[in-house]
Structure 1
Amino acid sequence: MSTSSKQVHEKGPPDTTVASDSASGSVEVVNAESQHLQRKMRGKEVQLFAIGGAIGTSLFVQMGSALPKGGPAGLFLGFVIWSVVMLAVNECFAEMVCYMPVPSPFIRFGSEWVDEAFGFAMGWNFFLNMAFLVPFEIVALNILFSFWTTAIPVYAVIIVVMILYAILNVISVRWFGIAEFYLSIFKVLLICGCIAFTFITMVGGNPEHDRYGFRYWRNPGSFIEYGAKGNTGRSLGVLTCVIQATFSICGPEYVTMTAAEAANPRKILPMAFRSFVWRILIFFCGSALCIGIVIPSNDPTLAAVLDGESKGTGAASPYVIAMQRLDISGLADLVNALIMTSVFSAGNGILFSATRTLYGMSLKGEAPRCLSNCTKAGIPLYCLGVSISFCLLAFLQISSSSSAVLGYLVDLVTACQLINYMCTAITYRHFYAALKAQGISRDSLPYKGRFQPYTSYFAIGGCLFMILASGYYLFLDGAWDIMYFFLTYAMLGFFFLAAIFWKVVKRTTYVKPGTADLELDGQKQEIDVYEAIYTPSESGKQGGFFNRMFE
């Protein structure tokens, strides 16, 4: 590590603008003299960023769309099944990223340890993953608005949100990390409040003093037949809930986003990856259980929202619907408003991630070089313009229902996420082979993945199965739809075409298993030196409390 870089870690450069790259994990310090990597995120910031990034619109809104198809038990079982696969994916992320905490880790590992064409396709796939999520958040906002009124034109909501996102991504770069920290705390409190609401009301703590418990598991039933009759239909209902879980459950990639920003990363990151287990149990599986408790699978309000027929009663969140059913005065309005702030902040953060991902690719020559031009404050305006242009997809609501547009975007995003996870597990196979061939004991690693290499095989198999099975409904009698076939499988075709394109144009070389450069051209040594000289900064009473809790 250079002397100037050491000075940055110890004192920080004067007169700088810090641009946190939440998609790639890098922090750009823009001044007249130099650009340096800053590692300042403590354990509390890393943990809360990972938690806040995982808690999004799906937990509050979209998850309920699978309830009428699988029933409460089917929904819960579907999330439990996919959680097991995601735990396997997490082990692949964790071992590699903790060993080499660099910017854009899983994308870079794909380029360095598998093939540059493989990494190129992963990079564009991840960018599109983020870019498609931004209009998803805007569409969700419009549905949440319909809880109060449908008088606001759809195009007005879209335009106003796009303008606000553009302004916030231009003026708030310096404070993005701080804002995300506190917004993550807010999201955690909100989802914990929804879980507490479920427990309190199900045991009789509601205006009607109705101890409804697991009533809706008995009537209309625990499992729903979907697409067929009998056990086949119930199995397809559970499969549909697993597909919803593949969209909803995320988290390991948000930890990797902080890899190059974390102070003392080989101590902090392993704890963040290990906590993914309880994040899955509490937030994802817990929410799936709660949603099946608070409303029945045949709730008419939920059915109206999903069919795009709600007129002024568009309570998109199952929790809001439950509050209306129990006639808890004012609470439904309050929670709907709080969910809207969470959805808005999620879209803003995702846009930031998409912008920085595209910027990173332009610097490497994997996107047009002109996009890398920045303002004096270090803001890549061209990348921001390209990323925010994806918000125009939200205008599809004008000709289609909002719920239908949500479905379009969910299909695209789900495919992107599954490809990301499968490619990460494939990259791990090369990493594991290189460790073995080069005589590096896995016991010496900062994080040793459990049950490897079998975990990686399970992750690859689970992701591949869900990529292929996610469009199963198209092959039911009379259900074929060319548009949904495209939405479900287009990203898989795009990935292969992107890899082939880069392979032909750049004549890249496949890295044979066991031959990968695990030093990443000397960067491992730089990180080793950094950690050897690292001295924890002093924290105030509040900061010290959070650090002890998370570290």
Structure 2
Amino acid sequence: MAGLETSLNPAKNIDYGSTRAVSPQRGYNNEDAEIVHELENRDLARGLKQRHIQMIAIAGAIGTGLFLGLGSSIATAGPLGSLLGYLFVGSIVCAVQFSLGEVTALFPVTGSFVRQAEIFVDPALAFAIGWNVVYGAFISVPSEISAAVVLIQYWNETVNPAVWVTVLIVVSVLVAVIFIGIYGEVEFFFALLKILLVIGIIIMGLVIDLGGVPGQPRLGFHYWKTPGPFVEYIATGSWGRFLGFWAVMSNAVYSFAGVESLAMAAAETKNPRQNIPKACKRVFARLTIFYVLAILIVGMLVSSDDDRLSNESGTAAQSPFVIAASDAGIKAIPSIVNAVVLTSAWSASNQSILAGTRTLYGLALKGHAPKFFLWTTPYGIPYMCVALQVTFSFLSYMCVSNEALTVFYWFVDLTAAGVLISWITIALNHIRLMKALKKQGISPTELPWHNFWTPYGSWFALVACIIILLTGGFTVFTEGNWNPSSFVSSYLDIPLVLVVYGGYKLIRNTNFVSLEEIPIRQAIEAARNDPDNVPIKVTGWERFNILWG
């Protein structure tokens, strides 16, 4: 029972005052620094394998943005405009993922880029970004549960929505408190379902487009010619076509949202210095291929001026793939798509739970959250973090009232910019790492994982994300399109983060971490001496695995 007593009552046996890696008044203390905290190594279970973290990230990024949201992108920018928009954001995701992989291979800590911001930039930034991530993740859980209820009502509208909310909350809590390895298997299964559906609908789209359905003509690139590859948005001419392309950016960013979460549970991942960089490298490639192929097929199947693309039912009825299948006389597709989108909503909720609880645990490790959030079960689950998440889940009952649901989704939109803020932080951490390497006279080749082009990629991602963040709500500034709620939802998160950052900095009198203080040499030595840090050998049938290998 000693292990149980220690895990459930950590205050009895742990000196929390020993967390000396960061002094709130100063930057990172090189002398006392701990790369991976003692509590992470002892209380958290390394139950996630490389295939788990890859598929968790894929499960979070393949969801309503792909199955339901591509239609609105086609309607806004046209088939070529939307394709270019997703390719551009895909290049940003590539830079962000490689930056995240390099930094995490050196500092594989719970909370990922939030904890790393404390090491490379400023404890105040870690505090502000961390609580922004926690808030965004926890508020996403009731959002996804509410979306799942809407999807269920596609088949059955007679049962009170509160029943489905209760069932989904209970199941989500059960998944959140079980052993992390079982959580990984659950998300692995749902991610596999989604990948198979994506492959299936891409093949179906090609068959329909090439005239493989009896009685249906060959479409080819007909809709690229009529009504055309671009759509004029707000303005006319070349400027209007550019604005259509730029308006897709926000949709594309939020479609890829979640890819950064694969490193959140680094301390619960087996051989994280090898597995997480490998996952970062592969996840962006797979997601970009899926999204680019999907939007290419949608642009070939559905006209950008089809009124059905503006359907906002939240069910399979608004999916461009369902529209194309219905036109081709394939009747089974709507229910199949709705069922997989339902699993997408639920697995996205699980991913938000993982990101939110592990970020909160990381904040508590550094004194940015109450210490009781460090309490874990004998199986390594931070159950007090999960308990806080459960209280947010009860907001899902607002979907029982349509009016309350409208207010709630407006509230959720306030966190939308948080995705870009997280990506900006990841790029900034990597830029600071490169500068510290140069300042300390250490070659980047000594890092556990490095690519020659990433210093340029992180600058590209930083600048591109800032521009998209500042222009995400540009439509409200155009004539006749002012909308107070859209303005607030697009931009409120920016001053919120700045106020929290500035307030913490003033109260705790924190300093920016100097490049000399960043403990890179110590981290490199820790990586070299890590017995788990060995190259991953793929043998047998796994050599032919293209999904998560």
TM-score range, shorter chain: 0.7 to 0.9
Aligned with 2:317: secondary structure? coil
Report the Cα distance in structure 2 between the residues aligned to 1:533 and 1:166, rounded to whole angstroms: 33
1:398 corresponds, among 398, 401, 412, to 401
Kindly tell me: are residues 400 and 235 of structure 1, through their superposed partners in 2, closer, same or farther at Cα, counting changes over 3 Å? farther
Spell out the pairing of 1:181-192 with structure 2 (5 A cutoff).
Answer: 181-192=188-199
Report the Cα distance in structure 1 between the residues aligned to 2:151 and 2:170, rounded to whole angstroms: 19
AA matched with 2:66: L
AA matched with 2:478: L
**Equivalent residue number for residue 528 of structure 1:** 528
AA matched with 2:505: K
Report the Cα distance in structure 1 between the residues aligned to 2:229 and 2:469, rounded to whole angstroms: 27
AA matched with 1:105: S
AA matched with 2:62: I
Kindly tell me: are residues 185 and 15 of structure 1, through their superposed partners in 2, closer, same or farther at Cα, counting changes over 3 Å? farther
Quote the offset at 1:110 in angstroms: 0.5
Q: Return the TM-score normalized by structure 2.
A: 0.83
Q: Deviations over 1:240-287 (max 9, x none)?
A: 111111111246513323533444444433332332452243122222
2:509 corresponds, among 496, 507, 520, to 507
**Equivalent residue number for residue 444 of structure 2:** 442
Worse overlay, 231-240 or 289-298: 289-298
2:484 corresponds, among 482, 487, 493, to 482
AA matched with 2:363: M
**Equivalent residue number for residue 98 of structure 1:** 105
**Equivalent residue number for residue 335 of structure 2:** 333
Kindly tell me: are residues 175 and 28 of structure 1, through their superposed partners in 2, closer, same or farther at Cα, counting changes over 3 Å? farther
Spell out the pairing of 1:246-265 with structure 2 (5 A cutoff).
Answer: 246-250=253-257, 252-265=259-272
Worse overlay, 343-352 or 149-158: 149-158
**Equivalent residue number for residue 204 of structure 1:** 211
Kindly tell me: are residues 240 and 212 of structure 1, through their superposed partners in 2, closer, same or farther at Cα, counting changes over 3 Å? same
Spell out the pairing of 1:52-451 with structure 2 (5 A cutoff).
Answer: 52-171=59-178, 175-250=182-257, 252-303=259-310, 305-306=311-312, 315-374=317-376, 379-391=381-393, 392=395, 395=398, 398-400=401-403, 409=412, 411-451=413-453
Report the Cα distance in structure 1 between the residues aligned to 2:120 and 2:535, rounded to whole angstroms: 32
Q: What residue ranges of structure 2 are gaps of 5+ in the alignment? A: 8-35
Report the Cα distance in structure 2 between the residues aligned to 1:75 and 1:401, rounded to whole angstroms: 33
Q: Deviations over 1:429-448 (max 9, x none)?
A: 22111111111111232322
Report the Cα distance in structure 1 between the residues aligned to 2:53 and 2:239, rounded to whole angstroms: 43
Report the Cα distance in structure 2 between the residues aligned to 1:351 and 1:199, rounded to whole angstroms: 36
AA matched with 1:188: I
8 Å contact kept, 2:45–2:380 = no
8 Å contact kept, 2:53–2:184 = no
AA matched with 1:181: F
AA matched with 1:358: L
AA matched with 2:431: R
Quote the offset at 1:421 in angstroms: 0.8
Report the Cα distance in structure 2 between the residues aligned to 1:334 and 1:316, rounded to whole angstroms: 14
Worse overlay, 146-155 or 88-97: 146-155
Q: What residue ranges of structure 1 are gaps of 5+ in the alignment? A: 1-12, 18-25
Identity of aligned residues (%): 31
Quote the offset at 1:189 in angstroms: 1.3
Q: Return the TM-score normalized by structure 1.
A: 0.83
Kindly tell me: are residues 152 and 404 of structure 1, through their superposed partners in 2, closer, same or farther at Cα, counting changes over 3 Å? farther
**Equivalent residue number for residue 495 of structure 2:** 493
8 Å contact kept, 1:394–1:405 = no
Report the Cα distance in structure 2 between the residues aligned to 1:403 and 1:124, rounded to whole angstroms: 25
Report the Cα distance in structure 1 between the residues aligned to 2:154 and 2:350, rounded to whole angstroms: 22
**Equivalent residue number for residue 10 of structure 1:** none
8 Å contact kept, 2:100–2:113 = yes
Quote the offset at 1:492 in angstroms: 1.0
8 Å contact kept, 1:98–1:447 = yes
AA matched with 1:360: G
Kindly tell me: are residues 145 and 325 of structure 1, through their superposed partners in 2, closer, same or farther at Cα, counting changes over 3 Å? farther
Kindly tell me: are residues 286 and 533 of structure 1, through their superposed partners in 2, closer, same or farther at Cα, counting changes over 3 Å? closer
Report the Cα distance in structure 2 between the residues aligned to 1:207 and 1:329, rounded to whole angstroms: 14
Quote the offset at 1:295 in angstroms: 2.3
Kindly tell me: are residues 162 and 262 of structure 1, through their superposed partners in 2, closer, same or farther at Cα, counting changes over 3 Å? closer
Kindly tell me: are residues 402 and 76 of structure 1, through their superposed partners in 2, closer, same or farther at Cα, counting changes over 3 Å? farther
AA matched with 1:64: G
Kindly tell me: are residues 16 and 509 of structure 1, through their superposed partners in 2, closer, same or farther at Cα, counting changes over 3 Å? closer
Aligned with 1:275: secondary structure? helix
Quote the offset at 1:181 in angstroms: 2.3
**Equivalent residue number for residue 56 of structure 2:** 49
Report the Cα distance in structure 2 between the residues aligned to 1:533 and 1:93, rounded to whole angstroms: 18
Aligned with 1:239: secondary structure? helix
Report the Cα distance in structure 2 between the residues aligned to 1:533 and 1:217, rounded to whole angstroms: 50
8 Å contact kept, 2:95–2:457 = yes
8 Å contact kept, 1:99–1:445 = yes
Aligned with 2:196: secondary structure? helix
AA matched with 1:528: R
Report the Cα distance in structure 2 between the residues aligned to 1:36 and 1:166, rounded to whole angstroms: 20
Aligned with 2:451: secondary structure? coil
Report the Cα distance in structure 2 between the residues aligned to 1:378 and 1:443, rounded to whole angstroms: 35
Report the Cα distance in structure 1 between the residues aligned to 2:249 and 2:410, rounded to whole angstroms: 15
Quote the offset at 1:360 in angstroms: 3.2
Aligned with 2:318: secondary structure? coil
8 Å contact kept, 1:220–1:298 = yes
Quote the offset at 1:394 in angstroms: 7.0
Paired residues in the alignment total: 519
Report the Cα distance in structure 2 between the residues aligned to 1:369 and 1:478, rounded to whole angstroms: 50
8 Å contact kept, 2:48–2:184 = no
AA matched with 1:166: V
Quote the offset at 1:84 in angstroms: 2.0
Spell out the pairing of 1:463-474 with structure 2 (5 A cutoff).
Answer: 463-474=465-476
8 Å contact kept, 2:45–2:379 = no
Quote the offset at 1:397 in angstroms: 7.6
AA matched with 2:444: R
Worse overlay, 199-208 or 470-479: 199-208
Q: Deviations over 1:87-141 (max 9, x none)?
A: 2222321221223323223111110111100111121122123223323323432
8 Å contact kept, 1:302–1:315 = no
AA matched with 1:445: L
Report the Cα distance in structure 1 between the residues aligned to 2:75 and 2:537, rounded to whole angstroms: 51
Report the Cα distance in structure 1 between the residues aligned to 2:268 and 2:383, rounded to whole angstroms: 23
Kindly tell me: are residues 105 and 370 of structure 1, through their superposed partners in 2, closer, same or farther at Cα, counting changes over 3 Å? closer
